[in-house]
Amino acid sequence: MPVTWTRCAPQACPPIPGSCGTTCTTARRPTAAVSSLLTSAEPPSALFSSQNLITLGTVRALRSCGAQQRTALVGFDDVPLADLLDPPVTVVAQDVAAIGTQAAQILFRRIGGDTSAVRQHVVPTRLVARGSGEIRPVSRARPPGWGGLVDNVRTGSQVRPTSLRLRRRW
């Protein structure tokens, strides 16, 4: 069974202190929280952001700390112009058209009298590897099989759930 964000988040991937989880309305709070992490005694080698405003704040923090070439970043939800940044931002992209279509169909069925039980609908996502998620950790030694954050996802290597949010240097 694949590791899913829903399964691992409550136990292994708590939000970064000072961040705003998935309810951000600006990039200011994530920028401050990530900057704090990047300037800590043990800065992360990889970050996973759960929303596009958090990704933008993370990119700002990485650039202001000069860490954009040494800290891997994968964002959830695509960011406009992500391919033009340095490095281009790797994302897990949602199919917003499919989500909207499915939501509208469900809504119209309910309006039309559908009283069936609530059920879960899954819309596939896709990994858009652009460069930022493939940055390898700078370290003295890594366990065998550990590449960049995206390499591990792509090859099916066992990735510890905590690596979805943050993987510290070895």
- Average pLDDT of 16-29? 62
Tell me if 56 is assigned to some domain. Answer: yes
Tell me if 104 is assigned to some domain. Answer: no
Q: What is the CATH number of the domain that holds 11?
A: 3.40.50
pTM above 0.85, yes or no: no
Residue 23 has pLDDT above 90, yes or no: no
- Domain ranges, residue 153: 5-93+125-168
Tell me if 141 is assigned to some domain. Answer: yes
Tell me if 33 is assigned to some domain. Answer: yes
pLDDT bin (cut points 50, 70, 90) of residue 51 is: confident
Tell me if 32 is assigned to some domain. Answer: yes
Tell me if 111 is assigned to some domain. Answer: no
Pick the more confident residue, 153 or 60: 60
Question: What phi and psi values does residue 90 have, to the nearest 5 degrees?
Answer: -75, 135
Q: Which helix (H) or strand (E) holds 91?
A: strand 90-94
Residue 19 has pLDDT above 70, yes or no: no
Q: What phi-psi label fits residue 131: left (phi over 0), alpha (psi between -120 and 50 degrees) or beta?
A: left
Tell me if 18 is assigned to some domain. Answer: yes
Tell me if 161 is assigned to some domain. Answer: yes
Q: How many domains does the chain have?
A: 1
Question: What phi and psi values does residue 76 have, to the nearest 5 degrees?
Answer: -100, 125
- Helices marked H in 73-161 — which ranges? 96-111, 149-155
